[in-house]
A and B are shown apart, each in its own frame.
Chain A
Amino acid sequence: MLRKLMKYDMKALGRVFIPFYGAFIAVSIINSILAKLQLALPLAIGASVYGIMLGGVCVLTLVLTLQIFRKNLLGNEGYLMFTLPVSADKLILSKLFTAFVWYILSFIALMVSLVVISSVRLDVREIIPALIRLMNKLPIGGFHFAMFTIETLLAGIIMLLGMIMFLYACISLSLLVSKHRGLFSFGAFVVISMLWQVAASQVVKALSKLQMEYNIYTAHGFMWGGIAWGLINFFIFYFITRYMLTRKLNLE
């Protein structure tokens, strides 16, 4: 069921993203050609168009993933989604994973466009050997480097999932009111962000009080601590969203 839900969610977002990515990459290609031909005026125009689209990719990804969540689950389409024989968990996870995929794809589209623009001869086959050379230069062993890479990757994934879940929670909390739901979501966003800042600074204060040796192992400790912190965040926001969508659901 989750896969079926994701199929439709991916399609819904894909129809907007794919053409946009296509146009974005096309603009990048045009710009790099213009640069080679050294045509000043067209290049200036091209560069500003590129700049706008660059911002556009970021804004689009954020706005669209939030929009589809709100419209599909809390709007009229909610009458369809919530009467399907699937659990609220699957509905939430489908939106979450779909959003996650498109965030990654947007990032890749950005990277590709940068590569195209800078016209750097980037031979993919050289990346791995280059990384290995870098690893050998560092004062730490290969094992630790690999561990740090994994930890950073995990932390990044958890942070992204957590952020998406946080935004979904803000949107879901708007079910508590019947009017001005958009404003309420934004308010929730502001309030929770502030609370989060306070909580985070408390944690940092507490940690700095601990007399600790700073070595490679505590560094790993910090990484895993961060991952745990990310997981706790994620679950808090997941449960808020889930609670709102199951017990407080009220479609107009």
Chain B
Amino acid sequence: MTWSFTEDRPIYLQMQEQIKLFIVSGVYPAGSKLPAVRDLAAEAGVNPNTLQKALAELEREGLVYTQRTSGRFVTEDVNMINSLKTELAQEQIMKFLKKMEEMGFEKSETLELIKKTAEEMK
């Protein structure tokens, strides 16, 4: 599991996104226990305070919760995770569609191209 960060945005924001990605992709399944901040920070090569800040934000959003004696857990609300997954996917799709528009493709052309490429990928 490698974390990658870009240079231009605050790290705590990128950490939030990275963790969200891990949650929706099932690396951290619903209801599972997250590693301790220090271990997670060491694994990711990041500052523990910044990670704490990112996790606090996710907690505010309801994606993770803290059980006082046992640690931090991913929410059991599968629906929330699924809608987040959809949301993140749509973000990526919109970015992609915009990019294709910049290149001069019409939306229908783009859809055709996607189908064709997906077939070739099999």
Q: Do chains A and B touch in the complex (CB under 8 A)?
A: no
The chain A residues found within 8 Å of chain B, CB to CB, are: none
Query: CB within 8 Å of A: which residues of B?
Result: none
